[in-house]
Amino acid sequence: MTDKKKIIIGSRGSKLSLAYSNHVKKLLIKFNPQFDANSIEIKTIKTSGDIFQNKRISDIGGKGVFCKQIEEELLESKIDLAVHSLKDLPTIMTDGLCVNAVVKRNDPRDAFLSHSNKSFNQLKPQSKIGTSSFRRQAQLNLLRDDLKVIPMRGNIDTRIRKLKDKEFDAIVLSLAGIKMLNLKNEVKEIFTTRQMLPAIGQGAIALQCKKNDQKILDILEKVNDKETYYCIQVERALLEAIGGDCDTAIGGLAILSNNKISLKSELFSNDGKKKFEYESSGHLKEAKEIGYRVGKELLKKAGPNFETKGN
């Protein structure tokens, strides 16, 4: 696709994915005056993760299940760029593709939703709390060991509906997605990052394209949020250093201030009962080195018996 007077964005078809893609479309128009609403098209692509909604992500291929089909269309030049939730991207980038631009990060924290309780601590013992994440499962169990943490899949609307149908007493979701869909009124409580350190890349939107598509790279550079970009470099380097995948119960959050990046991280044992923590900081030019360093220190703390696969 050499004619860049029109751009095709590849996106999953969920409400949240389309909200992300429309947000990116608006930014592209704002920062590239050659585009208008008619010159940017959003193409919905069904992924394995959308098709098999009743199976745990780890059972249907891991993180790549939300990206593989979209990446294939990108490599075949059927689309010009792909919009992903950054935390859905596999740790190792697909050959021929890159993420050189990200949108300004939304709130990375986790949110507590319940049909009857105003806060997490008000849940009665043995209450059922739903989450799709090994990380959240481990964190919730450490905060309270008297609850039943149950795996759940589905998009945000589906999960909220299951909550309202009282299949669960409470659920935990990413606050960024809730805000993007204007569902903040459903939230009863927001966990602090001390209570629940977010997933790697949580709240960030990744803009993926071909490595050799210089025209698209130039266009995306104008919408890239540099602060977010440096922070996700650190976080993804951490994930790469430990060999992490969607089964790995790990949290990590990088913060940039005055050209200094600080990274907090926590890794959980395979049974979720032990937590290993480490943090480090340095100049933003050392972004990846900081992430690798933290990852290696976490693995040292976890010991030789630690496996990167979750429970």
Tell me whether the CATH fold assigned to 110-190 matches the one assigned to 226-301: no
Beta bridge partners of residue 11, listed in sequence order? 44
Identify the DSSP state of 295. H
Active-site residue among 3, 36, 59, 88? 88
Give the pLDDT confidence score for residue 64 in this predicted structure. Answer: 59
User: How far apart, in whole angstroms, are the C-alpha atoms of residue 45 and residue 34?
Assistant: 26
Q: Is 88 a catalytic residue?
A: yes
Domain at 226-301, CATH from 3.40.1170.10, 3.30.70.260, 3.40.50.2300, 3.30.160.40: 3.30.160.40
C-alpha to C-alpha distances, 240 to 67, 90, 104, 119, 139, nearest whole angstrom: 18, 10, 22, 35, 21
Instruction: Give the pLDDT of residue 90.
Output: 85
Give the Å distances, CA to CA, from 265 to 68, 214, 243, 244, 253: 28, 35, 15, 13, 7
Global pTM?
A: 0.88
The number of beta carbons lying within 10 Å of the beta carbon of residue 62 is: 15
Q: Are 134 and 311 in contact (CB under 8 A)?
A: yes
| Residue bearing the bigger pLDDT, 50 or 193 | 193
Contact of 169 with 128, CB cutoff 8 Å: yes
pLDDT over threshold 50, residue 61: no
Report how far residue 56's alpha carbon sits from residue 264's, in angstroms, rounded to the nearest whole number: 27
pLDDT tens for each residue of 209-259: 999 999 999 999 999 999 999 999 999 999 999 987 666 899 999 999 999
* Architecture label for domain 110-190: 3-Layer(aba) Sandwich (3.40)
Q: Give me the helices (H) in the chain, please.
A: 15-31, 48-51, 68-75, 134-143, 156-164, 175-180, 214-221, 226-241, 287-302
Write down the residue that tokens 């740790």 correspond to. Answer: 91
**Rounded Cα distance, 117 and 102, in Å:** 36
Q: Which CATH number fits domain 1-105+204-224: 1.10.150.130, 3.40.190.10, 3.40.50.12780, 3.30.70.120?
A: 3.40.190.10
Residue 194 CB contacts under 8 Å (≥ 6 apart), including other chains:
none
Q: What percent of the chain is modeled with pLDDT above 90?
A: 76
**pLDDT 10s digits, 92-133:** 899 999 999 999 999 999 999 999 889 999 999 999 999 988
Structural domain spans, the chain: 1-105+204-224, 110-190, 226-301
